[in-house]
């Protein structure tokens, strides 16, 4: 078989130049040597001589059939040259390719053609026909014959495993390099690619999104997706920074210039002309990946995504509330799994985790950093730099000695740019979103206030109703909904089921340091503490613990902080917390909070104050529940003495104390003493509540049980 410098000569009319040029690139990127006039004709060379040379030096001639090419002078000349070299088609020198249907001349009717006419808006069908053409040009390739089977096999093969980093197709625009320390996002990588390459021909303009708060790794995930899957997008990968809408036309134009597709005559066009030229190119059937980085506005996606052709669009955004009409398929990024966070943290300290103490410290560091990829990566760089000087345990102490966001490793230690060219400062990353709130706008001002208030809750799911109460808003505040949507759009809060909210623990620290204009940090904290205290009291009085149980982390946090702040209502918070825990059969935890509340009340109030009596009684109940009957008796007797002095002998609280004392005497075996106290309690309850009141009936039942002995 003769040796040909070129595998294929492309014959076409200028009306199909763009389509043929794209075909030439696809063939070239797939390893074929392609003869294309604008690539191979030499300066000053006669067209006749050059075309004849090209046909002779090419194993095959692909003739692009269209109404423009059939009968046209130069395509007809090239076609005849090919037929003269292989008149009986024994070597399949001439391969007709149908771009647009047109009656074929007799000399072509006897040759089998490949029909691309129905692929212009069907990217996967285009890939199928292209694979057939490549197999016809190279018999060593398997020729697909069943379109549906081809699509299924292609997707199964591509999505089964995550490819290694590889070169991008010619003409791609990718300013960011892959990250050698990329970990923990394997599932998200495959999910994004699966969404982008959805297995149907209706996937034109498919848009997938990686979303989440700043520092979560959205851009890095998109970079890795490009470098690992990009080779499969034979039309190229194009990265566009979409943060500034006014700069988007320049970003688009860059894709058509010398650093991108290098479209002919591109430099002579105006900016508008360049943008139109690139958008037209993106509407062709070639499979391309467009990455719109840092998008916040749905209108931007709607305006710039192609509506036809083979492009897929991947966006990164802090926003998580996209309009359903956009058809966007979202992969919402969570923080790293703990094992992957530890792996990233210790990338520069090999062997450190072999020590149990160091592994425990690594786990605690990741917990403190909330497994946020940016924070963990920066801490890992710090530990790698000081790998001979600072242990994981020592770094944990450093984190605990000051506000986390002020730790040098997270602020200004890493000076080199990140692989994504993002700022290497956690607080500054949050600040970029926060600065987009305008205090002169009522909605944004309320958003700032709600964000600060939310920071005083625990870093877990927050009740929308409690947050609104803390802000002093009505039960159905539409203004609050607008404000919270602003926070969600900026990635500062995340909305959960039932409208509940969540802040990352590092965002909690950031937001607590940013009270809204006209609001102090102390005022914000007290508003939340008052709200939770009122809520706890109401729910405790209801006798139904389930609602308060869901908000228990928030009550625990403000109760502990109230003690640290020496807040005037600290004792009330601890008492309410203890009361709830006692009610849900957690006497050990309840005792701790009752004792704390008692200590506070004894310090700030007189030892015989009625509030002290209530705490002493509550603590007696806990001691009785854990089996300390003597301790319970002592506390009930003290509570009784306090309440008799404060209220007199016939007050309902005195009746409560007397009844409790009777119950512990019964448990201690003093039945006579128990009966005496129950009779007194019954008399007080009858006078205070009447015969049919539940409290009266409870005491009566206790007395009857004693009489039956």
Q: Dump pLDDT digits (tens) for 349-379.
A: 878 888 889 999 999 999 999 999 999 999 9
Residue 160 is predicted with a pLDDT of 59
Structure tokens at 395: 């770094």
At 20-47, the pLDDT tens digits run: 998 998 899 888 999 999 999 988 889 9
Structure tokens at 130: 């292209």
At 594-611, the pLDDT tens digits run: 999 989 988 888 888 888
Confidence grade of residue 203 (pLDDT, cut at 50, 70, 90): very low
Classify burial at 65, counting beta carbons within 10 Å of its beta carbon; exposed 0-12, middle 13-18, buried 19 or more: buried
Find out whether 171 and 262 touch, Cβ atoms under 8 Å: yes
Residue 293 is predicted with a pLDDT of 95
Residue 493 is predicted with a pLDDT of 92
How far apart CA 561 and CA 456 sit, in angstroms, is 10
User: Per CATH, the architecture of 608-709 is what?
Assistant: Alpha Horseshoe (1.25)
Residue 419 is predicted with a pLDDT of 59
How far is C-alpha 491 from the geometric centre of its chain's CA atoms?
9
Residue 194 is predicted with a pLDDT of 84
How far apart CA 31 and CA 411 sit, in angstroms, is 48
Integer-rounded Cα Rg, in Å, for the chain is 37
How far is C-alpha 581 from the geometric centre of its chain's CA atoms?
35
In the chain, CATH 3.40.50.10140 sits at: 6-155
> Among all chains, which residue has been given the structure tokens 């409870």?
698
Mean pLDDT of 671-688: 89
In terms of Cα–Cα distance, which of 282, 283, 287, 225 is closest to 251?
282
Residue 206 is predicted with a pLDDT of 76
Q: Residue 38: how many CB atoms within 10 A of its CB? A: 10
Q: In this model, does residue 202 exceed pLDDT 80?
A: no
In the chain, CATH 1.25.40.10 sits at: 608-709
Q: Running DSSP on this structure, what letter comes out for residue 708? A: T
- Residue/partner pairs of 628-633 with CB below 8 Å, 24 or more apart: 629/664, 629/667, 629/668, 630/668, 632/664, 633/661, 633/664, 633/665, 633/668
At 155-176, the pLDDT tens digits run: 655 555 788 888 888 889 999 9
**What CATH superfamily is the domain 6-155?**
Toll/interleukin-1 receptor homology (TIR) domain (3.40.50.10140)
DSSP line for 280-295: HHHTSSS-EEEEEES-
Confidence grade of residue 205 (pLDDT, cut at 50, 70, 90): low
Residue 320 is predicted with a pLDDT of 85
Residue 150 is predicted with a pLDDT of 81
Confidence grade of residue 114 (pLDDT, cut at 50, 70, 90): very high
Confidence grade of residue 284 (pLDDT, cut at 50, 70, 90): confident
Residue 321 is predicted with a pLDDT of 83
Q: In this model, does residue 200 exceed pLDDT 50?
A: no
Would you put residue 491 in left (φ > 0), alpha (ψ -120 to 50) or beta? left
At 386-398, the pLDDT tens digits run: 988 999 999 999 9
Residue 376 is predicted with a pLDDT of 94
Residue 701 is predicted with a pLDDT of 84
In the chain, CATH 3.40.50.300 sits at: 186-332
Find out whether 196 and 329 touch, Cβ atoms under 8 Å: no
Confidence grade of residue 533 (pLDDT, cut at 50, 70, 90): very high
At 450-504, the pLDDT tens digits run: 999 999 999 999 999 999 999 998 756 788 899 999 999 888 998 887 889 999 9
Residue 422 is predicted with a pLDDT of 63
Residue 353 is predicted with a pLDDT of 83
Domain 186-332 classification at class level: alpha beta
Structure tokens at 674: 């128990």
DSSP line for 323-374: -GGGT-EEEE--PPPHHHHHHHHTTTSTTGGGSHHHHHHHHHHHHHTTT-HH
| 266: enclosing H helix or E strand | none
Q: In this model, does residue 414 exceed pLDDT 90?
A: no
Secondary structure string (H, E, C) spanning 120-132: CCCHHHHHHHHHH
How far is C-alpha 414 from the geometric centre of its chain's CA atoms?
24
Measured between its terminal Cα atoms, the distance across the chain in Å is: 113
How far apart CA 262 and CA 448 sit, in angstroms, is 46
How far apart CA 190 and CA 203 sit, in angstroms, is 17
How far apart CA 61 and CA 56 sit, in angstroms, is 10
Strands 207-211 and 329-332: parallel
Mean pLDDT of 104-113: 84
Residue 1 is predicted with a pLDDT of 52
Whole-model pTM: value is 0.72
DSSP line for 361-413: HHHHHHHHTTT-HHHHHHHHHHHHHTTTT--HHHHHHHHHTS-GGGSHHHHTS
Structure tokens at 469: 């109460």
Q: Count the helix, strand and coil residues of the chain and give each as a percent rounded to the nearest 5.
A: 55, 10, 35
Q: What is the mean pLDDT of the chain?
A: 89
Find out whether 64 and 129 touch, Cβ atoms under 8 Å: no
How far apart CA 82 and CA 87 sit, in angstroms, is 8
- Taking the CA atoms of 669, 670, 672 and 674 in sequence, report the sign of the dihedral they define: negative
How far apart CA 163 and CA 168 sit, in angstroms, is 13
How far is C-alpha 148 from the geometric centre of its chain's CA atoms?
34
Q: In this model, does residue 82 exceed pLDDT 80?
A: yes
How far apart CA 422 and CA 272 sit, in angstroms, is 29
Residue 263 is predicted with a pLDDT of 92
**What percentage of the chain reaches a pLDDT higher than 90?**
57
In terms of Cα–Cα distance, which of 172, 234, 170, 223 is closest to 197?
234
Looking at 66-177, which runs of residues are DSSP E strands?
94-98, 114-115
316 SS3 class: strand
């Amino acid at each position: 078989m003769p040796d040909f410098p070129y595998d294929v000569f492309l014959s076409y009319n200028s009306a199909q130049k763009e389509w043929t040029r794209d075909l030439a690139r696809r063939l070239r990127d797939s390893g074929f040597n392609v003869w294309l006039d604008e690539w191979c004709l030499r300066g000053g060379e006669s067209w006749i001589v050059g075309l004849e040379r090209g046909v002779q030096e090419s194993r095959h001639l692909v003739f692009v059939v269209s109404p423009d090419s059939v009968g046209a002078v130069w395509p007809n000349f090239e076609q005849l040259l090919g037929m003269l070299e292989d008149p009986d088609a024994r070597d399949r020198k001439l391969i007709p390719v149908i771009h647009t249907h047109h009656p074929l001349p007799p000399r072509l009717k006897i040759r089998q053609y490949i029909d691309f006419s129905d692929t212009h808006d069907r990217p996967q069908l285009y890939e199928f026909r292209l694979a057939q053409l490549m197999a016809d040009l190279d018999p060593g390739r398997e020729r697909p014959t069943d379109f549906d089977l081809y699509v299924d096999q292609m997707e199964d093969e591509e999505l089964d495993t995550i490819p290694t980093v590889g070169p991008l197709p010619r003409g791609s625009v990718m300013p960011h390099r892959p990250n050698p320390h990329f970990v923990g996002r394997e599932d998200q990588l495959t999910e994004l690619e699966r969404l982008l390459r959805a297995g149907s021909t209706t996937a034109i303009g498919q848009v997938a999104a990686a979303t989440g708060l700043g520092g979560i790794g959205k851009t890095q995930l998109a970079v890795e997706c490009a470098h690992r899957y990009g080779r499969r997008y034979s039309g190229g990968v194009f990265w566009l920074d979409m943060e500034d809408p006014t700069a988007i036309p320049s970003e688009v134009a860059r894709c058509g210039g010398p650093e991108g597709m290098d479209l002919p005559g591109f430099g002579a066009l105006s900016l508008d002309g360049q943008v139109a030229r690139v958008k037209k190119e993106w509407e062709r059937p070639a499979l391309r990946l467009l990455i719109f980085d840092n998008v916040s506005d749905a209108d931007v996606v709607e305006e710039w995504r192609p509506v036809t052709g083979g492009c897929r669009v991947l966006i990164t955004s802090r926003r998580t509330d996209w309009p359903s009409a956009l058809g966007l398929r979202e992969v919402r990024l969570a923080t790293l799994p703990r094992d992957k966070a530890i792996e990233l943290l210790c990338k520069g300290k090999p062997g450190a985790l072999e020590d149990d103490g160091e592994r425990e410290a690594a786990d605690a560091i990741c917990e403190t950093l909330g497994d946020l990829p940016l924070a963990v990566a920066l801490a890992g760089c710090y530990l790698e730099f000081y790998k001979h000087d600072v242990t994981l345990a020592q770094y944990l102490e450093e984190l605990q000695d000051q506000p986390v966001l002020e730790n040098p490793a997270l602020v200004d230690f890493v000076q080199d740019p990140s692989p994504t060219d993002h700022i290497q400062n956690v607080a500054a990353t949050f600040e970029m979103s926060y600065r987009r709130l305008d205090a002169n706008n009522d909605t944004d001002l309320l958003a700032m206030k709600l964000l600060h208030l939310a920071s005083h809750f625990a870093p877990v799911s927050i009740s929308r109703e409690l947050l609104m109460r803390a802000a002093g808003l009505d039960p159905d505040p539409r203004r609050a909904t607008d404000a919270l949507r602003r926070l969600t759009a900026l990635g500062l809060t995340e909305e959960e089921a039932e409208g509940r909210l969540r802040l990352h623990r590092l965002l909690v620290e950031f937001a607590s340091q940013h009270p809204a204009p006209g609001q102090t940090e102390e005022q914000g904290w007290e508003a939340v503490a008052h709200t939770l205290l009122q809520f706890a009291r109401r729910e405790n009085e209801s006798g139904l613990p389930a609602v308060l149980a869901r908000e228990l982390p928030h009550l625990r946090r403000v109760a502990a902080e109230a003690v640290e702040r020496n807040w005037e209502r600290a004792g009330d918070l601890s008492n309410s917390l203890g009361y709830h825990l006692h009610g849900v059969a957690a006497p050990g935890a309840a005792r701790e909070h009752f004792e704390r509340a008692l200590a506070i009340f004894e310090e700030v109030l007189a030892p015989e104050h009625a509030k002290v009596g209530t705490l002493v009684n509550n603590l007696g109940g806990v001691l009785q529940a854990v089996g300390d009957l003597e301790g319970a008796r002592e506390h009930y007797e003290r509570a009784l003495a306090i309440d008799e002095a404060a209220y007199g002998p016939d007050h309902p609280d005195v009746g409560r104390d007397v009844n409790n004392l009777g119950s512990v005497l019964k448990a201690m075996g003093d039945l006579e003493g128990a009966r005496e106290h129950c009779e007194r309690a019954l008399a007080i309850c009858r006078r205070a509540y009447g015969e049919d009141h539940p409290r009266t009936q409870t005491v009566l039942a206790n007395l009857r049980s004693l009489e039956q002995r």
